[in-house]
Structure 1
Amino acid sequence: MKRLIKKVAVIGSGIMGSGIACHFANIGVEVLLLDIVPRELTEAEQKKGLTLESKAVRNRVVNEHLANALKSKPSPIYSLKFADRIKTGNTTDDLSKIAEADWIIEVVVERLDIKKQVFEQIEKFRKPGTLITSNTSGIPIHFMSEGRSEDFQKHFCGTHFFNPARYLKLFEIIPGPKTSTEVLDFLNEYGEKFLGKTSVIAKDTPAFIGNRIGIFGIMSMFHQVKELGLTIEEVDKLTGPVIGRPKSATFRTVDVVGLDTLVHVANGLYEGVPNDEAHELFKLPEFISKMMENKWLGSKTGQGFYKKVDKDILSLDLDTLEYRAPKKASFATLELTKTIDKPIDRFKVLVKGTDKAGEFYRKNFSGMFSYVANRVPEITEDFYKIDDAMKAGFGWENGPFEIWDAIGVEKGIELMKAEGYEPAVWVTEMLASGNKSFYTIKDGATYFYDRASKSQKKVPGQDAFIILNNIRESKKVWSNSGAVIHDLGDGILNLEFQSKMNTIGGDVLQGINKAIDLAEKEYSGLVIGNQGANFSVGANIGMIFMMAVEQEYDELNMAIKLFQDTMMRVRYSGIPVVVAPHGMTLGGGCEMSMHADKVVAAAETYIGLVEFGVGVIPGGGGSKEMALRASDLFRKNDVELNVLQEYFLTVAMAKVSTSAYEAYDLGILQHGKDVVVVNRDRQIAEAKKHALLLAEAGYTQPVRRKDVKVLGKQALGMFLVGTDSMEAGHYISEHDKKIANKLAYVMAGGDLSEPTLVTEQYLLDIEREAFLSLCTERKTLERIQFMLTKGKPLRN
């Protein structure tokens, strides 16, 4: 049976319900969002003379919740325009409208009695065959569908979105006793393909997979912190980016999520898993109980493990429960990993540490390895789903079994035994059967150890993905220290950046030119894409800074020209070039995207020309390209200056999109040409498809543009008057004005006496001249140095 999701009904509009509604709106689905009718009028409603029968009053709860969600940061919606896809109502007047829905999602308060009442009401209006799911974080699914009809139970299961629904990728699907396999298969694929999630089918056990393992990890940390005499800063240092976890690490994450949320799940586990070998770990330590009493719940109450006082962030001393100035955390073991780029390669070093950090890691990992191995087959038949859940739900770069593999399975067992743990029987059997690792890479695919067959089996669902880690060596065509070219098959190459933060310097530019050379000679097309945290933070400003300080202006001019020429090569090569940006795509990364034949952007792409922040204008073709794009929009009798001004302001205000969809509004992505992919795991495969389509359609090398209309003095005058008034009003500094005036000169096409048609090369030459002149300014060098040392822009 073919199932289409055109309309979704979400019952419950709290933080989670509104977030889920927004994410369905993100992907183009029509949403009906419902909540309860208020029982009494507010003071403001009484003053307006409204009654409990007024529609505005009856829909107040849902409308307020949705409005708050749309105002929140980070935003739950890709573009505010998409909010029009959400219609609101209440469960008294509008529940009958769920008959039009293809999927009904219940997101009411976490109480079984209330959920059962809601399902009873839903069943009166739900049409047979409609999906019905509960977004619960822990209530057993089998209790919820008791007493419901056969059709209801067949189409019912749990679908646990992690909060925030837009950003966290884990989508747990928990079958009820009678859920049909068709429903599970559909939700599994829909989650991956349309919602952009990592779908994981979990068993109906307390807290499912993600929270069972995640809360165990946090609770064991709470107990270890006292045992090892660690401060909260030290734990956050040890459990953050150094091991591939979010910057918020452990305690800061709890502050953001809310201590009460964590305690609710931990208490549920303490009661729900009495036979768990780690049962006592789910018991709250005394300092947590005290914090709960004091209502120190984290960000929502203004204090938790950290507390902001004026501009200072204070830390909680867990012994005295008093706030104090933060203490710098440093460990000799961490120093040993500074030269190791990838977290997965650091674990072997970390567990050998002879200081407190080494002891912490040995205790922590051995406890985690023991726990996750013992949860198979209790919470899932296949251990790789635990890794998937931790990466997608908690932002871990590597799951526990991947970390165990990195340390070595036998070494992991040795650590466990030293801490008093015995390995799970199936792990011992795995080693006995000759399988020395949980995962293997074969023919570009990931295989996992299957307990039932005692052999390595291919992880399902990979065929829609291209995973660069799996082909980096076997399909490598060429590499240097900053880039690697792989053969993706079917005549398409991929260029992956491998520089620090994927900055674009000489090695990357060489890689781009080499990839185009190879593709023009022997292949059909090229994808420029990677699977790092971010696509690229832009040009290597360290190199620019050194040349400018040494006053090597000829070399700097040549370097800028090489960058420009390479961007033009991306546009005017003999083969289609598809760029696949994601995450931060700033400065030069944005310029590269703007010169591609096509952009296949991840929905979570934060793209923009941010060069003003380091005291220059876009110098890799970005200023030229904005002038060109404005020129293409000029229409007869239009006020052309208004169009050009919009593009000028996008650069001058260093605007960065908060999603790929917002990049269309900024003129960085183009409607009808560029596309957006919601699931980043599919991005390289999708980009390859588009490169193939362009090649197979008979790709013709484009002709360089000589018809760019620039407005000359007419535009330049307007911009100069604008920057004068901005400086006079103290909105911008003198140096900001200087940079803006340089950009104005380029985008106006110079001080030509009248509108003129010019070549792209003409604009590139004046762009390069402006960029170079700004690099001679002391205040620009101060801005670049500040960015290099502090990682943020300087206003001077």
Structure 2
Amino acid sequence: MSRFNVKKVAVLGAGVMGAQIAAHLVNVKVPVVLFDLAAKPGEDGKPVSKNGIVEKAIANLKKLKPSPLGLADDADLIEVANYEDDLKKLKGCDLIIEAIAERMDWKSDLYHKIAPFVAKHAILASNTSGLSITKLSEALPEALRPRFCGIHFFNPPRYMYLVELIATPATQPQAMDDLEAFVTTALGKGVVRAKDTPNFIANRIGTAGMLATMKEVDKFGLTFDVVDDLTGKRLGRAPSGTFRTIDVVGLDTVGHVIKTLQDSLSPETDPFYETYGTPAVLAKLLELKNLGQKTGAGFYKKVGRDILRFDLSGGEYVPGGQKADEVYGRMLKKPAGERLKLLRNAEGPQGQFLWAILRNAFHYAAVHLQSIAETARDVDQAMRWGFAMKQGPFELWQEAGWLEVAKMIQEDIDAGKAISKAPLPEWVFNGPVAQAGGVHTEQGSWNPSSARFEPRRQLPVYERQLFPELLLGEGGPRPATAGKTLQETDAVRIWTLDDEVVIATLKTKMRAISPEAGEGLMQAVDLAESQYQGLVIWPGDDPFSVGADLQAMLPGYVAGGAGLVDSMEKELQDLMLRIRYANVPVISAIRGMALGGGCELAVHSSRRVAIMESYIGLVEVGVGLIPGAGGLTYLARRAYENSQASAGKDLLPFLTEGFTAAAMAKVGTSALESRKLGYLLWSDIVVPNKDELLYVATNEAKAMYRAGYRPPHRKQFAVAGRDGKATIQGQLVNMRDGGFISQHDFHVSSLIANVLTGGDVDPGTMVTEEYLMTLERQAFTSLLGHPKTHERIMGMLATGKPVRN
């Protein structure tokens, strides 16, 4: 069977998006060459590198926050090129992504230039946020048009899950299927196919919603900070709300997207066209060149520690920080149907505003569904993945009661309260949707063009997604009930999909490892050894685990004293050793945070399979503790193993790396950085797509078992002893005396150093894992009784942020 094998990708354009797309390709191990214009000689006439534009863009990648790179040094893996000298390099590329400025004439000129160099099998895709893909294709030779389409990454490309693919009438279906498979598995993205309409799906609905929100803000006289408080997490949307999000995206970018709507549509083609005018406040900020985060000022401006907001009436920044009335916060916690009724009947402007923007979103999505998307699923997925909404507009509408909400919307339209006079489509009130109570059903999602519910697209790549992200009302397997349950408690579900591999899923809050969860994992290992080929510890969703259950441990100390805590820690350590020396492979399938005990669980597993966005580290010092479930023992053993593999065999440099990681609570900001910190090994697997994690992990367990897996031998290893401890302790004294760490930091770090070096023993003394774990328990238990540690634990539980004392 032939397949679309992408050996190399070219990205045309080293601007913000092009450079970051190239960075993400490097993250997922896809070789990439980045093109831009040839640099011109400087004013002094001195020669410059013709690839200077690209080289500068690559250098800037290392400075950006959040980082577009899993490892900053990997920026050097991007190959540089320019259009004058290097077009022949395109012949070796299987995929070419054009990402230059949003100018139809510039893109067309570039297509004429590159067309002779595009390989006959290669796909050419334009990363545009809204230009007509069909119109762009007219600049291409007839032979290339079947392999041309639109590909719309969202910014920043590494972190945003959504990619929209847009075909022209000439695009071959196979080219679209091949590209969707590559973007899904290799790049780790969620693909939505959009129709070739202005701004496609997510930006069309998102921008229209933003403009409608601004109109309602003016109508109800609300301030930006209150609106952001209302339209952020409380509403199930991105925490940044409306105006902070615009500041992050860039007011110029938003202005461009608005202009695309203004230029491409008309009152005849869009009944909402009158709402696409540039809001006065946005026009004023653009005039002032206050473009948001990139310029330090937009709707908000940070001055020292104060956050100011822009006031259009005075044309200046005034103190911000206002919050919404809490009565609406309570309303937003109600069930969907009750929530919408309360907001619609609210007397205060904040409640009326909330109903208005939700009503407008439902209205707009229903009217435009047929023209911009194939099904309602595409709209809801696009808004979830592109705008960080907890639910898409159709999901919320359906949950609240389809026909009842539809009647409320139409009543507002008839009363002139809506932003358009366009009525809701006939399919909203009559036929299959009305009968089913919504657009998402077990059979599929509503397609108004075919007038039927259509299932998800069936491509081989989706066989790897055992539990894809489902929409409310949609049919499909759900991990809480799928497969065959072997054992289940309130803390853990032990189950199997195929009677070959056991899966253990923690059910505790944030996957905390409570005593009950630890007992369940121990039973899962026993079960896997007795009847199955392996065990996969899979969270189902973020996070993997935030570690031991401190809320259970601190009361345990108060009630039972040091002896009870020592016993609890011993049980955790025994679990880690049981996992490490199990007679079947134990795979930790990591997504999101694997912190503290979650990290210890992972490092003691036979292998780790992690998605790119995994954040792994030993963070116990943040609550005034040390890793107590074998984390320091792991670091000491790994330091010895690494020293033995090196030429010098000097233990201390490798030990210092582990000490720094634990004492500074370093967390890998990607799976790639976690490898650098030693929490993932080169033999571990990084999976780009979160929904493929379980598929890869279970297959890895089977492969290891069938290859004759045996656990590692229990071996002693050398420690640095009192000399190594003295060296580290000297550095800590300097940091304390210099004011870089507090006295309690010094105390905690000293205990970490004591465990890592083996305590008061001679350098080179051979020890067992159990010996170091005993030192861990002693130090952990002593710290749990320390008042400074109590302050840190209580502060973390109350605010989620570390306390420095």
TM-score (norm 1): 0.92
The aligned counterpart of 1:13 is 14
- 1:352 counterpart = 2:342: yes
The aligned counterpart of 2:473 is none
- 1:470 counterpart = 2:478: yes
Residue type matched to 1:534 in 2? P
Q: Aligned pair in 2 of structure 1 residues 348, 637: CA closer, same or farther (>3 Å)? A: same
Residue type matched to 1:598 in 2? R
User: Given the alignment, which residue of 67, 72, 77 partners 1:85?
Assistant: 77
User: Given the alignment, which residue of 137, 140, 145 partners 1:145?
Assistant: 137
How many Å separate the matches in 2 of 1:666 and 1:16? 29
- 1:448 counterpart = 2:456: no
Distance apart, 1:328 and its partner CA: 2.5
Residue type matched to 2:240 in 1? S
Q: Aligned pair in 2 of structure 1 residues 278, 500: CA closer, same or farther (>3 Å)? A: farther
Q: Aligned pair in 2 of structure 1 residues 396, 268: CA closer, same or farther (>3 Å)? A: same
Distance apart, 1:102 and its partner CA: 1.9
How many Å separate the matches in 1 of 2:428 and 2:794? 52
The aligned counterpart of 1:762 is 771
1:574-606 CA-to-partner distances (Å, cap 9, x unmatched) read: 443211112222111111111112111001111
What is the count of residue pairs matched by the alignment?
776
User: Given the alignment, which residue of 362, 369, 375 partners 1:376?
Assistant: 369
Distance apart, 1:726 and its partner CA: 2.5
How many Å separate the matches in 2 of 1:68 and 1:557? 49
Distance apart, 1:734 and its partner CA: 2.0
The aligned counterpart of 1:310 is 304
Do 1:243 and 1:347's aligned partners in 2 also have CA atoms closer than 8 Å?
no
The aligned counterpart of 1:334 is 329
User: Given the alignment, which residue of 150, 158, 161 partners 1:158?
Assistant: 150
Residue type matched to 2:397 in 1? W
User: Given the alignment, which residue of 664, 667, 679 partners 1:653?
Assistant: 664
How many Å separate the matches in 1 of 2:237 and 2:400? 17
Distance apart, 1:128 and its partner CA: 2.6
- 1:128 counterpart = 2:151: no
How many Å separate the matches in 2 of 1:237 and 1:414? 29
The aligned counterpart of 1:27 is 28
Per mean C-alpha deviation after superposition, the further-off stretch among 489-498 and 261-270 is: 489-498
The aligned counterpart of 1:223 is 215
The DSSP-based 3-state class of the residue aligned with 2:263 is helix
Distance apart, 1:422 and its partner CA: 4.0
Do 1:601 and 1:675's aligned partners in 2 also have CA atoms closer than 8 Å?
yes
The DSSP-based 3-state class of the residue aligned with 1:408 is helix
How many Å separate the matches in 1 of 2:236 and 2:696? 27
Do 1:601 and 1:660's aligned partners in 2 also have CA atoms closer than 8 Å?
yes
How many Å separate the matches in 1 of 2:187 and 2:338? 36
Per mean C-alpha deviation after superposition, the further-off stretch among 360-369 and 63-72 is: 360-369
Q: Aligned pair in 2 of structure 1 residues 32, 435: CA closer, same or farther (>3 Å)? A: same
Q: Aligned pair in 2 of structure 1 residues 103, 359: CA closer, same or farther (>3 Å)? A: same
User: Given the alignment, which residue of 65, 86, 91 partners 1:94?
Assistant: 86
Counting only pairs closer than 5 Å after superposition, residues 98-113 of structure 1 correspond to structure 2 as 98-113=90-105
1:469-506 CA-to-partner distances (Å, cap 9, x unmatched) read: 72423547244444334433343333333333333333
- 1:412 counterpart = 2:405: yes
Residue type matched to 1:794 in 2? V
Do 2:626 and 2:780's aligned partners in 1 also have CA atoms closer than 8 Å?
yes
Q: Aligned pair in 2 of structure 1 residues 619, 64: CA closer, same or farther (>3 Å)? A: same
Do 1:350 and 1:358's aligned partners in 2 also have CA atoms closer than 8 Å?
no
TM-score (norm 2): 0.91
Q: Aligned pair in 2 of structure 1 residues 533, 313: CA closer, same or farther (>3 Å)? A: farther
Do 2:375 and 2:454's aligned partners in 1 also have CA atoms closer than 8 Å?
no
Residue type matched to 1:568 in 2? L
Distance apart, 1:770 and its partner CA: 0.7
Counting only pairs closer than 5 Å after superposition, residues 28-107 of structure 1 correspond to structure 2 as 28-41=29-42, 46=44, 51=46, 54-56=47-49, 58-107=50-99
Do 1:76 and 1:166's aligned partners in 2 also have CA atoms closer than 8 Å?
yes
How many Å separate the matches in 2 of 1:483 and 1:440? 30
Do 2:557 and 2:564's aligned partners in 1 also have CA atoms closer than 8 Å?
no
How many Å separate the matches in 2 of 1:314 and 1:744? 45
Residue type matched to 1:759 in 2? T
Do 1:388 and 1:399's aligned partners in 2 also have CA atoms closer than 8 Å?
yes
How many Å separate the matches in 1 of 2:634 and 2:236? 37
Identity of aligned residues (%): 37
Residue type matched to 1:30 in 2? P
Distance apart, 1:346 and its partner CA: 5.5
The DSSP-based 3-state class of the residue aligned with 2:144 is helix
1:296-331 CA-to-partner distances (Å, cap 9, x unmatched) read: 321122222221111111233466554223212233
How many Å separate the matches in 1 of 2:200 and 2:146? 20
Residue type matched to 2:409 in 1? M
Q: Aligned pair in 2 of structure 1 residues 133, 337: CA closer, same or farther (>3 Å)? A: closer
Counting only pairs closer than 5 Å after superposition, residues 687-766 of structure 1 correspond to structure 2 as 687-700=697-710, 702=711, 705-766=714-775
The DSSP-based 3-state class of the residue aligned with 1:376 is helix
Do 1:209 and 1:379's aligned partners in 2 also have CA atoms closer than 8 Å?
yes
User: Given the alignment, which residue of 357, 362, 365 partners 2:355?
Assistant: 362
How many Å separate the matches in 1 of 2:174 and 2:99? 23
How many Å separate the matches in 1 of 2:250 and 2:648? 57
Do 1:317 and 1:324's aligned partners in 2 also have CA atoms closer than 8 Å?
no
How many Å separate the matches in 1 of 2:716 and 2:120? 60
The DSSP-based 3-state class of the residue aligned with 2:150 is strand
User: Given the alignment, which residue of 276, 287, 292 partners 1:282?
Assistant: 276
The DSSP-based 3-state class of the residue aligned with 2:106 is helix
The DSSP-based 3-state class of the residue aligned with 1:750 is coil
The DSSP-based 3-state class of the residue aligned with 1:620 is coil
1:61-117 CA-to-partner distances (Å, cap 9, x unmatched) read: 221122112221111111234323211122222223222222222211111111111
How many Å separate the matches in 1 of 2:665 and 2:712? 30
The aligned counterpart of 1:423 is 424
The aligned counterpart of 1:487 is 496
Q: Aligned pair in 2 of structure 1 residues 247, 511: CA closer, same or farther (>3 Å)? A: farther
The aligned counterpart of 1:628 is 637
Distance apart, 1:254 and its partner CA: 0.5
How many Å separate the matches in 2 of 1:147 and 1:288? 34
The aligned counterpart of 2:416 is none
Do 1:370 and 1:424's aligned partners in 2 also have CA atoms closer than 8 Å?
no
Unaligned 5+ runs, structure 2? 414-421, 469-476
How many Å separate the matches in 2 of 1:603 and 1:62? 25
Unaligned 5+ runs, structure 1? none
Residue type matched to 2:608 in 1? V
User: Given the alignment, which residue of 665, 679, 691 partners 1:668?
Assistant: 679
Q: Aligned pair in 2 of structure 1 residues 371, 567: CA closer, same or farther (>3 Å)? A: same
How many Å separate the matches in 1 of 2:312 and 2:572? 53
How many Å separate the matches in 2 of 1:207 and 1:455? 25
The DSSP-based 3-state class of the residue aligned with 1:715 is helix
Distance apart, 1:430 and its partner CA: 4.6
Distance apart, 1:253 and its partner CA: 0.6
The DSSP-based 3-state class of the residue aligned with 2:270 is coil
User: Given the alignment, which residue of 590, 605, 608 partners 2:617?
Assistant: 608
The DSSP-based 3-state class of the residue aligned with 1:603 is strand
Do 1:369 and 1:412's aligned partners in 2 also have CA atoms closer than 8 Å?
no
Do 2:370 and 2:447's aligned partners in 1 also have CA atoms closer than 8 Å?
no
How many Å separate the matches in 1 of 2:328 and 2:92? 59
- How large is the RMSD of aligned CA atoms in angstroms? 2.5
Distance apart, 1:754 and its partner CA: 4.1
Distance apart, 1:350 and its partner CA: 5.3
The aligned counterpart of 1:686 is 696
Distance apart, 1:547 and its partner CA: 4.2
Residue type matched to 2:571 in 1? L
The aligned counterpart of 2:294 is 300
Residue type matched to 1:772 in 2? T
Do 2:229 and 2:323's aligned partners in 1 also have CA atoms closer than 8 Å?
no
How many Å separate the matches in 2 of 1:72 and 1:183? 33
